Amino acid sequence: MAIGESRGYHKLFTSFAQKRRSRPMPSPKLTFEDLEFYVDIWVGSLSVYSAAVHGPVVRSRVFNPPAGICESMQTHLQSQAYKMTVPVSSRFEVCFSEDIRVSLLVRRRDQERVACIIDKSGFDYVDGPGYRAHAYDYLQISPLYPFVSEIRAWVALLLVDGQSGQMEVFGIELDFTDAANNDNEVLCLLEILDWK
């Protein structure tokens, strides 16, 4: 009788195989200084917001939110959860009975290449009590990583009641909570995008 048959094959394997140790995340080759983000938002076919934002600005949170934000938004902004935020200096109104879409591109300044993070996705989920609207898209990963798929990028509009009765956007949040929850993880994830 073979040894595996007498002891069980899995037990035999575990007797000589070492436990897999968790390996630290490799240091990213990118830095936020290398990056520039391009955000476009449309209501129907009308462009209501377009901005180019340098990478280090996207890393920071909304430190000076406008007066009048709701308590749940205050709690969200003060939480320790990892956030990447694009500040909106000139607030704009949105009405969620209309078709609102967002595009998010990122440029590598060190190589002059561009990748798409969000490709005109709609804000299909509106969290009324939380004063946030969410859109997502699946990342376009480089063909060099064929076994990596279905990682979502999320964009959220941060909202406050406007004077005209409509919601106003005062900030835009980006996260990759399926896969990345700190600066190094985000940079490593961005490295494997399908850069053009």
Q: Per the structure block, which two tokens stand in for 68?
A: 């009048």
Q: Specify the pLDDT at position 37.
A: 96
Instruction: Please report whether residue 15 resides in a domain.
Output: no
Res. 10 pLDDT band, cuts 50 70 90 = confident
Residue 1 has pLDDT above 50, yes or no: no
Query: Quick check: 72 and 130 in contact, CB under 8 A?
Result: yes
Residue at 56 is within a domain? yes
Is position 106 within any domain?
yes
Q: Span 80-101, mean pLDDT? A: 89
Domain of residue 41: give its range.
Answer: 29-191
**107, two tokens:** 């440029």
Residue 60 has pLDDT above 80, yes or no: no
Structural domain tally of the chain? 1
Query: Is residue 8 one of the residues assigned to a domain?
Result: no
Q: What average pLDDT does the segment 78-86 reach?
A: 87
Q: What is the CA angle 111-117-123, rounded to 5?
A: 155
Residue 12 included in any domain: no
Q: Which two tokens stand for residue 176?
A: 């990759």
Q: What does the DSSP 8-state code read for residue 146?
A: T
Would you state the structure tokens that stand for residue 51, as one six-digit string?
């901005």
Is-contact 88 169, C-beta < 8 A?
Answer: yes
Do the domain assignments include residue 125? yes
135 pLDDT above the threshold of 90: yes
**In a domain? residue 10:** no
Q: Say if 105 falls within a structural domain.
A: yes
